[in-house]
Structure 1
Amino acid sequence: MAKGYWVSAYPAVSDPGELAAYNELARAAVRAAGGRTLSRGGRVVAHESGSVQRVVLVEFDSFERAVAAYGSAAYRKALAALPDGFARDFRIVEGVD
């Protein structure tokens, strides 16, 4: 069964402290759903588009688990804690068997 991944790219984070409440709630929701954070805002080397953004990569045992985790009550609570006007590019992708 192919794994599932959450891939989040944040175009700009002017005040990382604004994300503290979201990060705490999201971390707990991901763990409760069996997810593992593989990368969270580490170094980025940009190619082609030249866009260096904060990137978060979370792995789940299956694509279905990744989709279910996003729809969970715990993660909905985390989403409600995102600051107003906050932008990110969030995708759930299926891995390769």
Structure 2
Amino acid sequence: MSKGYWVTTYRKTKDPAKLAAYAQLAGPAVAAAGGKFLVRGVADEVREHGLKERTVLIEFPTYEEAVAAYDSAEYKKALEALGDGVERDLRIVRGVE
């Protein structure tokens, strides 16, 4: 089984308070689902049309657990708190075995 990853790149933060509320709920939801934060912060360098915004990389034991974490009731609460506070791209991908 390959590991699963959430790869999130932020395009724009419109409401820092909503992002903070999201973080308070998302962190525990991700941890409860077996997720481990590998990267969390603003890029030090930007290349190839990237934006100097927040990037988050979370590793899960399996791809299936990564998908289940996103679909969990706990994470849905975090998404509700985030609302339209940011513009971002979140992808769930399989690790290389």
Runs of at least 4 residues of structure 1 off by over 4 A? none
Structure-to-structure mapping, 1:1-97, within 5 angstroms: 1-84=1-84, 86-97=86-97
Q: State the Cα distance separating 1:17 from its structure 2 match.
A: 3.2
Question: Aligned with 2:39: secondary structure?
Answer: strand
TM-score normalized with structure 2 length: 0.89
Instruction: Give the whole-Å Cα distance in 2 for the aligned partners of 1:52 and 1:43.
Output: 6
Spell out, residue by residue over 1:6-40, the C-alpha distance to the aligned partner (whole angstroms, 9 max, x if none): 01111122553331110010001000000001111
CA RMSD, Structure 1 to Structure 2 (Å):
1.6
Which runs of 5 or more residues in structure 2 are unaligned? none
Q: State the Cα distance separating 1:46 from its structure 2 match.
A: 1.5
Give yes or no for contact 1:4–1:66 (8 Å, CA) kept in 2.
yes
One-letter identity of the residue aligned with 1:89: D
Which runs of 5 or more residues in structure 1 are unaligned? none
Q: State the Cα distance separating 1:44 from its structure 2 match.
A: 3.0
Question: Aligned with 1:57: secondary structure?
Answer: strand
One-letter identity of the residue aligned with 1:77: K
* Mean CA deviation greater in 66-75 or 43-52: 43-52
TM-score normalized with structure 1 length: 0.89
Query: Aligned residue pairs: how many?
Result: 97
Instruction: Give the whole-Å Cα distance in 1 for the aligned partners of 2:70 and 2:54.
Output: 20
User: What percentage of residue pairs aligned between the two structures are identical?
Assistant: 56
Give yes or no for contact 2:15–2:85 (8 Å, CA) kept in 1.
no
Instruction: Give the whole-Å Cα distance in 2 for the aligned partners of 1:20 and 1:53.
Output: 15
